[in-house]
Amino acid sequence: MIFRAALLLCTLGCSAAFAQDATQRPNARPAAQTTAPVAPVQPDLSAIRPLSRTPGVIAMAPRLTVPSAELRPTARPYERPELAHGAATDPQLRAEQDLFAFSPTAPALSERPTQRPAAIERAAQQRAAAIRRGQVCGDPAIQGEAIGRVNGRGRCGIDNAVRVRSVAGVTLQPAATIDCRTASALKRWVTTGAQPATGGQAASLRVVSHYACRNRNAASTGRLSEHAFGKAIDIAGIGLKSGREITVLTGWNSSRDSNALRRMWQAACGPFGTVLGPNANRFHRDHFHFDTASYRSGSYCR
């Protein structure tokens, strides 16, 4: 009896389970609605090109076809006519104009300077060549001629003498026969002393002594002067571009030229080893004496 009841319950439960399972499965499609299999689409290999020419590399990339109109170069915003200053009315174009324009008053095209005439170019080249031909001591700012060895009595003489006509654009009147060390010191004094003291107006130097085989202060006895070795130069006046001359004799204590002359005298201490002026002694009351003698204690300036 118990066995029959259990069998009945098992039969009812299994039927219900099978019934529930059957309701969850979808119904099979009718044979008429079955879709036919789709044939695979073959890619168009003419539209792809290899990324590498190396054999065995499979990497490919599509060949893009861009309309020719899109390949036309576009002008920069500041080169486009519609963005010219004062012509843009559209707000967006005006914003581009303000962003890219370098200046509201800048010209549309850069203004190139006109080319110099050939005659001016030739003249400049000729002047440069003349300066190179006239330079001495390896310095274009020192113009003159090399005269080599200058012989003199006894110990007098110059090994490599030059006859200097001008230094730093300032003419020597007359030309001075000195050595290159003295010529270089004179150029330095002109640029740092004579020109600044005259406001750049110095045009000439009046030379009263250069090479001369004599004793100091032209005495009959005593030591040889530095003039005897081409290491000294005496200057009595400084000519200005206006035509006026500042003279050591009359200007040293004058209200007009005293300050300039004293500045020149002071500026010579350094480039030269010996600097003498009107306050040194009666022999130099009318000129400056500059020489390149060397002293252990430095320049002697008086």
What would the pLDDT profile of 191-232 be if each residue is shown by its tens digit?
A: 999 999 999 999 999 999 999 999 998 888 889 999 999 999
Residue 163 lies in a domain: yes
The answer to whether residue 142 is domain-embedded is yes
Assess if residue 12 is contained within a domain: no
Mean local confidence (pLDDT), 247-264: 97
Domain of residue 135 covers: 130-301
Which range scores top for mean pLDDT: 5-9, 22-26, 107-111?
A: 107-111
From CA 183, how far away is CA 176, in angstroms rounded? Answer: 9
Instruction: Give the whole-angstrom CA distance, residue 227 versus residue 230.
Output: 5
Give the confidence band of 83 by pLDDT, cuts at 50, 70, 90. very low
Q: Is 115 a domain residue?
A: no
Q: Is the pLDDT of residue 266 over 50?
A: yes
What's the pTM? 0.59
Residue 128: is it exposed, middle or buried by C-beta count within 10 angstroms (0-12/13-18/19+)?
exposed
For residue 87, is it within any domain? Answer: no
What's the burial of 97, exposed, middle or buried (CB within 10 Å: 0-12/13-18/19+)?
buried
Checking if the pLDDT of 251 tops 70, the result is yes
Q: What's the rounded mean pLDDT across residues 162-167?
A: 97
Q: What integer pLDDT is reported at residue 108 of this predicted model? A: 59
Domain count, the chain: 1
With 60 as the cut, is the pLDDT of residue 248 above it?
yes
User: Would you state the pLDDT for residue 119?
Assistant: 82
Let me know if residue 193 belongs to a domain.
Answer: yes
Which pLDDT score, from 0 to 100, does residue 77 have?
Answer: 47
Say which residue the tokens 């026969």 belong to.
177
